[in-house]
């Protein structure tokens, strides 16, 4: 038996590399499907990538069917400290399941956490992870004059934004976008638009709320809004390979709009 430690410091005991894995996180499901597809036997209803995923669906990330997971007899269940509820993780562990919990809040943590997990399960194919590391580590530092101060809004009714200590915030920071709520005491503060600090750009992803050209930007006019791919912004896994290029292209027109004034 080999004892590993997950991102939270909890012990994970594996007699051998797992042959049956249940994933409770869409981005980690995609990573497993790319690296060890034959091991993936269960996934959530929200696991949309790859589109041809062949795995038993076991409910949502916040309300998985614990009984269904146990009946699948997995060697390992993979969860995330932000995405999944501690009560569900505890219930699985109490039932004798080995649960690996990731805790990812920066690009660097994502790369290192995924590397540790894939090594622990003896994943045969991890070239995408090397590509992602190379891509993110090669990004140039952007001078202050080229950086933008942005609010990153992820929900409306009520308005909710990206605050401190988040993966999405670190992704944008590396791309030259500074989150005006990076020092918030909350990771996802609920703030009315009139209570936001000054900003000169709005970032609106298409998930979890599906912002689009006719739903979102009108609330911030005349501040420029960048409608971005939510998967590139928030998914750690194979999406990280193309994420910088996709996001930079989507941010470009808004980042270089010099004709509008910052919010006050």
Per residue in 178-217, pLDDT (tens digit) is: 999 999 999 999 999 999 999 999 999 999 999 999 999 9
Contact yes or no for 232/246 (Cβ under 8 A): yes
So what CATH class is 141-255?
alpha beta
Instruction: Tell me which fold the domain 2-136 belongs to.
Output: Rossmann fold (3.40.50)
Per residue in 138-167, pLDDT (tens digit) is: 999 888 888 999 999 999 999 999 999 999
Q: Where are the domains of the chain?
A: 2-136, 141-255
45-48-50-51 Cα dihedral, nearest 10 degrees: 100
Domains 2-136 and 141-255 share a fold: yes
Contact yes or no for 6/92 (Cβ under 8 A): no
Confidence check: pLDDT of 3 > 60: yes
In sequence order, the 6+-apart residues with CB closer than 8 A to the CB of 4 are 11, 12, 13, 14, 100, 116, 120
Mean pLDDT of 225-243: 97
Per residue in 86-132, pLDDT (tens digit) is: 999 999 999 999 999 999 999 999 999 999 999 999 998 899 999 99
Q: How confident is the model at residue 259, as a pLDDT?
A: 40
Confidence check: pLDDT of 35 > 90: yes
């Amino acid at each position: 038996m080999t004892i590993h430690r997950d991102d939270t410091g909890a012990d994970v005991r594996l007699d051998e590399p797992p042959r049956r894995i249940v994933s409770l996180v869409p981005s980690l499901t995609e990573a497993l499907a790319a690296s060890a597809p034959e091991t993936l036997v269960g996934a959530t209803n929200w696991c949309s990538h790859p589109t041809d995923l062949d795995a038993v669906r076991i409910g949502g990330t916040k309300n998985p069917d614990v009984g269904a997971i146990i009946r699948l007899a997995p060697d390992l269940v993979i969860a995330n400290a932000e995405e999944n509820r501690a009560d569900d993780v505890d219930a699985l562990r109490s039932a004798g399941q080995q649960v690996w919990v990731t805790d990812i809040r920066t690009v660097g943590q994502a790369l290192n956490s995924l590397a540790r997990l894939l090594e622990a399960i003896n994943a045969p194919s991890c070239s995408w992870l090397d590509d992602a590391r190379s891509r993110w580590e090669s990004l140039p530092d952007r001078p202050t004059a080229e950086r933008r101060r942005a609010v990153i809004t992820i929900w409306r009714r009520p308005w909710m934004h990206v605050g401190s200590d988040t993966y999405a915030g670190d992704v944008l920071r590396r791309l030259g976008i500074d989150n005006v709520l990076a020092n918030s005491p909350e990771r996802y503060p609920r703030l009315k638009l009139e209570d936001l600090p000054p900003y000169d750009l709005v970032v609106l992803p298409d998930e979890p709320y599906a912002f689009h050209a006719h739903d979102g930007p009108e609330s911030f006019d005349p501040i420029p809004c960048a409608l971005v791919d939510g998967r590139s912004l928030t998914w750690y896994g194979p999406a990280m390979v193309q994420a910088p290029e996709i996001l930079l292209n989507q941010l470009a027109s808004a980042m270089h709009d010099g004709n509008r004034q910052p919010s006050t």
